[in-house]
Amino acid sequence: MSLDLNYREVSKVFGAGGKTPVEALKKVSFTIKPGELFCLLGPSGCGKTTLLRSTAGLESITSGQIFYGGRDMTSIPPFRRNIGMVFQSFALYPHMNIFENVAYGLRVRKTPEAEVRRKVSEVMELVGLTEELKRNPSPAGLSGGQQQRVAIARALVYDPDLLLLDEPLANLDAKLRRYMRAEIRRIQKATNITTIFVTHDQEEAMAVGDRLAVMRRGVVEQIGSSDELYNKPNSAFVANFIGKMNFFKATLALWDGEEVRARIIGPDFELEAGKGRNHLPVGTGVGSRIVVGARPEQLSVGLRRVEGAMAGKVNIIQHLGQFVRYEVSVDPVVSAQPFEVDMPGLVSGIAEGDEVYVTIKKGLASLYLPEEGQSE
């Protein structure tokens, strides 16, 4: 039976009272559903690891509460929380063989020997290490991927209420990482234990998680499925963290019920926000600085000047298999960054160095408040 996990206004301040207190978590509140594989995603220093360690009880939180299945665990010491955790370094014991490593949590719980043997072989079968268990080497005698499996087995063997994974794939090479993330998903679904998976790699998070939370500076920016986060990012930060987004500097021209229009600075034309793509906070005044965002595949590039097009110059053309990416630099008044435009194939007549026109496909423009540094 899996539990839900509930954070209520969880805050953590490092060095409170000192000269430079650091607010690692700022009133974080959300709920993870029973049996869910939930990813915490964000750049380094965003508080995702602090939140994970607070969930485990390895860090004490400054204020707020954490509930497992409705039970307040905030002041329960970590060793009484019945959770499993896989560390970035795997943290396998070099002075024990893999059997003893996996059996550790059972030994702590004074489980009878026969039961220990049964459970260890069960969990080793689940993670696919039955053969290795027969040889029973010390962890140093295993490959990185096998060590990872031992670490997962060790965390699962005593049927924890919650499984925590702290950047579990960071120590593996790229190919193995892709394979292991599928394995982790398979094992999680087989056990149905509520799981938190911390990573800074958005591709990994989107591939693994049922739902994702994107964190920044101690705050959860957005929670949703991979699809929701990619297609309906609610801030410029999330939009650019989950995948790539191009931004045009603009001002708010009109907000009248359903109809919202932005005026692009520079070429000075108006543009209607796509349906459900206005992410400006209610009350944003007409004339405020905003940004208009569009993903590379939501832009198109052509040789003819059309209504609502921006002139630019092609820097690089990259053939990337399923699509062709055009990097186009535009007037810095519109965007300091060059745009990335993905076209389904080569556009005939366009070569590197050519003058082109970039347009946002109809109904796909999203409006956001500018990030720091985007408004100037």
Partner 1 sequence: MKDRNLDSSISSTEHGGFKKFLQKDLTPYLVFLIPMAFLCVFLFWPLVTTLLRAFMKSGNKFDLGALGVSGFEKFFTSALYQRSLRNSFIVGISVTLCSLFIGVPMGYFVARVKIPGKSLLLSLGILPVIMPSFIGAFSWIILLGRQGVLRHFINIVLVPLGLELPPIYGMFGMIFCMSLTYYPFVFLLSHGAFSSANALLEDAGMLMGAGRWRVLRTITFPLVIPSIGAAALLVFIRSIGNFGIPAIIGGDQYVLPTLIYFRVNGFWDLNGASSIAVVNVLITGAVLWFQKYVVSRREYETISASHVEIQQHKHPVLRVVAFLYCLVVLLVSLAPQIVIIVMSFFEKWQGLLPEGFTLANFSKIPKNSPKELLNSLYLSTIATLLTAILGSIIAYITERRKPKGAGILDMAVMAPFILPGTVVSVALLSAFSGRSAIPLGGTYTIIIIAYMVRRTPYVYRSVAASLTQLNPSLEEASTIAGAHWIYTFRRVSVPLILPGIISGSILTFSTLLQELSTTILLYGARTRTVPIQIYGAVADGKMGEASALSVLLLIVVFAIVYATNKSKGRDLSAGLKM
Residues that bind partner 1 (CB under 8 A): 56, 58, 65, 70-72, 74-85, 87-89, 91, 93-95, 104-105, 108-109, 154-155, 158, 164
CB of 2 to partner 1, least distance (A): 17
CB of 204 to partner 1, least distance (A): 20
Rounded Cα distance, 161 and 70, in Å: 13
Rounded Cα distance, 117 and 60, in Å: 35
Q: Which is nearer to partner 1, 168 or 233 (CB)?
A: 168
Q: Which is nearer to partner 1, 156 or 292 (CB)?
A: 156
CB of 90 to partner 1, least distance (A): 8
Cα–Cα distances (Å) from 61 to 54, 74, 85, 281, 316, in that order, read 6, 8, 18, 30, 49
- CB distance 294 to 245 below 8 Å: yes
Rounded Cα distance, 110 and 276, in Å: 56
Rounded Cα distance, 190 and 184, in Å: 10
CB of 4 to partner 1, least distance (A): 15
Rounded Cα distance, 139 and 93, in Å: 7
Q: Which residues, in sequence order, are CB contacts of 149 under 8 Å at separation 6+?
A: 127, 128, 129, 183
Edge-to-edge strand ranges of the sheet holding 22-32: 22-32, 5-14, 63-68, 71-72
Residue 265, judged by CB atoms within 10 A of its CB (0-12, 13-18, 19+), counts as middle
Q: Which is nearer to partner 1, 82 or 121 (CB)?
A: 82
Q: Which is nearer to partner 1, 66 or 334 (CB)?
A: 66
Residue 359, H or E segment: strand 355-360
Single-letter residue type at 133:
L
Please state the length of the chain.
Answer: 376
CB of 132 to partner 1, least distance (A): 19
CB of 95 to partner 1, least distance (A): 5
- CB distance 184 to 133 below 8 Å: no
Q: Which is nearer to partner 1, 70 or 373 (CB)?
A: 70
Q: Which is nearer to partner 1, 165 or 367 (CB)?
A: 165
Q: Which is nearer to partner 1, 29 or 315 (CB)?
A: 29
The β-bridge partners of 194 are 162
Residue 323, judged by CB atoms within 10 A of its CB (0-12, 13-18, 19+), counts as middle
CB of 82 to partner 1, least distance (A): 7
CB of 131 to partner 1, least distance (A): 24
Q: Which is nearer to partner 1, 93 or 269 (CB)?
A: 93
CB of 58 to partner 1, least distance (A): 6
Q: Which is nearer to partner 1, 78 or 243 (CB)?
A: 78
